[in-house]
């Protein structure tokens, strides 16, 4: 009797992300692979040093030799506390990200034969969006034979822009796209 070996299927080896080391952005101390480096900084004399002298200077100060720009010859290095340097870079990146303004685009749509009251309701909602700092894309959609009223749709869009002029300005004039015409309004900078 022959015994068959059974496979356990297609089990994949698990990879735990916490154990994967990220590649460090900067080379430090003995990992710098150049014979000479250009040292810059406040607390030391700027100039070109051999790698051994630069590492010795950093050891004497109790800090790290960090390669700032490896693309030039000789590479530019600084003597500083590497952990503190990484912390400050992370902090700067976070501040930069926080300063970036995220602009959302809100859409408002209506037909070419919209009533006066309905138009005012749409204008109020557009004002609200513009006051929040969002862009507004205003659509006039044409269903079936209403495509005949392109001029009326353009007039409605321009009247809409005129009504909302104190809150926003026209970024893009009315444009026909398929069976709908649209215009983009941007908030006025205060």
Same domain, 174 and 119: yes
Phi and psi at 101, nearest 5°, equal -90, 130
Name 185's Cβ contacts closer than 8 Å, sequence gap at least 6: 126, 130, 135, 136, 137, 138, 161, 164, 168, 169, 170, 171
pLDDT of residue 2: 57
92 lies in some domain: no
For the chain, the domain total comes to: 2
| 3 state DSSP class of 63 | coil
14 lies in some domain: no
pLDDT of residue 17: 60
Stated pTM of the model: 0.48
Q: How far apart are CA 62 and CA 57, in angstroms?
A: 9
100 lies in some domain: no
Same domain, 109 and 182: yes
Q: How far apart are CA 134 and CA 107, in angstroms?
A: 10
88 lies in some domain: no
53 lies in some domain: yes
Question: 53, 83, 113 — which closes off a domain?
Answer: 83
Same domain, 71 and 139: no
Q: How far apart are CA 130 and CA 128, in angstroms?
A: 6
Same domain, 130 and 180: yes
pLDDT of residue 121: 92
Domain assignment of residue 67, given as a range: 22-83
Same domain, 110 and 79: no
pLDDT of residue 14: 60
167 lies in some domain: yes
pLDDT of residue 55: 86
pLDDT, tens digit only, all 190 positions of the chain: 555 555 555 666 665 565 555 566 777 887 888 888 888 877 778 888 888 888 888 888 888 888 888 888 888 888 888 888 889 989 998 888 877 777 788 999 988 888 889 989 999 999 999 888 889 999 988 888 877 778 888 888 888 889 898 888 898 898 888 888 899 999 887 5
Same domain, 116 and 147: yes
Same domain, 110 and 41: no
Q: The domain spanning residue 60 has which CATH number?
A: 3.10.20.80
Q: The domain spanning residue 135 has which CATH number?
A: 3.30.110.10
Angle between helices 116-132 and 150-163 (to 10 degrees): 50
2 lies in some domain: no
Same domain, 114 and 177: yes
98 lies in some domain: no
Please work out, in degrees rounded to the nearest 5, the angle formed at the alpha carbon of residue 152 by the alpha carbons of 147 and 156: 120
């Amino acid at each position: 009797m022959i015994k068959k070996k059974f496979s356990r299927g297609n089990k994949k080896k698990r990879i735990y992300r916490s154990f994967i080391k990220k590649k460090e952005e900067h080379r430090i101390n003995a990992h710098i692979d150049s014979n000479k480096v250009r040292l810059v900084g406040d607390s030391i004399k700027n100039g070109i040093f051999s790698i051994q002298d630069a590492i010795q200077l950093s050891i004497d100060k109790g800090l790290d030799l960090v390669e700032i720009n490896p693309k030039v010859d000789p590479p530019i290095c600084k003597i500083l506390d590497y952990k503190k340097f990484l912390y400050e870079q992370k902090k700067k990146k976070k501040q930069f990200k926080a300063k970036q303004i995220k602009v959302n685009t809100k859409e408002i749509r209506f037909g070419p034969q919209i009533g006066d009251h309905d138009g005012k309701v749409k204008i109020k909602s557009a004002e609200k969006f513009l006051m929040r700092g969002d862009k507004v894309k205003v659509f006039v959609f044409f269903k079936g034979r209403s495509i005949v009223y392109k001029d009326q749709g353009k007039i409605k869009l321009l009247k809409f822009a005129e009504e909302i002029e104190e809150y926003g300005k026209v970024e893009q004039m009315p444009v026909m796209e398929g069976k709908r015409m649209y215009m983009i309004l941007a908030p006025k900078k205060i």
